[in-house]
A and B are shown apart, each in its own frame.
Chain A
Amino acid sequence: MDNKKIRLEDIPKINHVQTPDQYFEDLPQRIQARLQQNHTKVLKPHWTARHSWLSAGAAAAVAVLMYLSWPTRQESIGVETLSQLQTEDIVQYLEHENVSLQDLSEVEKNRVLIDSLGNQPLPQLKFSNKDIIEQLSLEDFEDVI
């Protein structure tokens, strides 16, 4: 029976680690590439006059678009919302907002007054209906009429 014990010094010391072909030839470039990538990530944007003008222009364009679309959106939101409400809900809301029946009747009176003018010229301004219709057509308000 072989009782000889294995000792570490009896084992040949070999480098058992192997790497894929060209690994160490390519590694420095790969590390440099990663460093470049990290560097690019932390780069802060540098502002130039051109960037500032472009940003200001873009901000102005957004502001104009918002201004132009605002009344339309408000109106459409109002119409859509009101069309889905019950009359009872509207009356409750008006009561909650302290709009009394008297206020509502005043509005109704005004409407009656406007309707009563009919084809009469506006008394204070001395405009005939014909003048008004001509003016509206010039301003392309046929849809309103």
Chain B
Amino acid sequence: MTDQELLDKFANPETRNYAFNLLVRKYQQKVYGLIRKMVIDHSDADDLTQETFIKVWQHLETFRGDSQLYTWIYRIASNETFNFLNKKRRRFFLSLDSVDHELEAKIDADPLLSGDDIQNKLQKAILRLPEKQRLVFHMRYYDEMPYEEMSEVTGTSEGALKASYHHAVKKIEEFLNGN
């Protein structure tokens, strides 16, 4: 079912729940995957994914179609994730480095994260990136999202996103070769 068909069904009170259920099934893996890569922990990612879709439900009627539906959902997911990470830092008076080290430790401890040494090293390298650059890297490297769509999600120009991704790759390779 296309996004437009989903939106049409959502607009009809009789088929709203059905349409929303289909929408969640269509995008849940992408949304969860993006959030999980940012927060590492499954239960945090689970909460944030639910919060994201609850916000989608609450605001879908106001979606005007200026962007694609899934970039709009990604934008909500990334806002939820940044809010969560900021709150976490404020709650425990943690610096950026402390949060990143905590996430790094989770990579080693989480049985749901698979991968050999080089994959673990790559994940730790990604965690060294600033949060917004990390999001850019995930969207480009893992989700292979076009810069145009990334621009819709982040509200940043395509040029700035290209530069950010280029620097992110450079930093990651430096980390991989330096450790």
* Contact call B115/A30, Cβ cutoff below 8 A: no
User: Does B29 sit at the interface, judged by CB under 8 A?
Assistant: yes
Contacts of B156 in A (CB 8 A): none
Residues of B within 8 A of A31 (CB): 24, 50, 53-54
Contact status A13-B142, CB under 8 Å: yes
* Bound-state Cα–Cα, A15 to B141, Å: 11
Q: Are A17 and B36 in contact (CB under 8 A)?
A: yes
Instruction: Report whether A11 and B24 are in contact in the complex, using a CB–CB cutoff of 8 Å.
Output: no
Taken together as a complex, chains A and B put the C-alpha atoms of A30 and B53 apart, in Å, by 11
Contact A35 B57 (CB under 8 A): yes
Contact B28 A14 (CB under 8 A): no
Of the candidates B49, B114, B118, B172, which one forms a contact with A18 in the assembled complex, judged by CB atoms under 8 Å apart?
B114
Interface size class of A (residues with CB under 8 A): 20 to 34
Size of the chain B interface, CB-CB below 8 angstroms: 33
Cβ A19 vs Cβ B112 within 8 A: yes
Are B112 and A8 closer than 8 Å at their CB atoms? no
Q: Decide if B122 is an interface residue (CB 8 Å cutoff).
A: yes
Among A6, A17, A32, the most chain B Cβ lie within 10 Å of the Cβ of A17
A contact set with B: CB distance below 8 Å: 5-8, 11, 13-20, 23-24, 27-28, 30-32, 34-35, 38
A and B contact pairs by CB, cutoff 8 A, 28 listed: A5-B177, A6-B173, A7-B173, A8-B141, A8-B173, A11-B119, A13-B141, A13-B142, A14-B115, A14-B119, A16-B113, A17-B33, A17-B37, A17-B113, A18-B113, A19-B32, A20-B112, A23-B46, A24-B32, A27-B28, A27-B32, A27-B46, A27-B50, A31-B54, A32-B17, A32-B20, A32-B21, A35-B57
- Given A24-B29, A28-B28, A34-B54, 7 other A-B residues pairs in contact with their CB atoms under 8 A: A16-B114, A17-B113, A19-B112, A24-B32, A31-B54, A34-B50, A35-B57
Which B positions have Cβ atoms within 8 angstroms of A? 17, 20-21, 24-25, 28-29, 32-33, 36-37, 42, 46, 49-50, 53-54, 57, 112-115, 118-119, 122-123, 141-142, 169, 172-173, 176-177
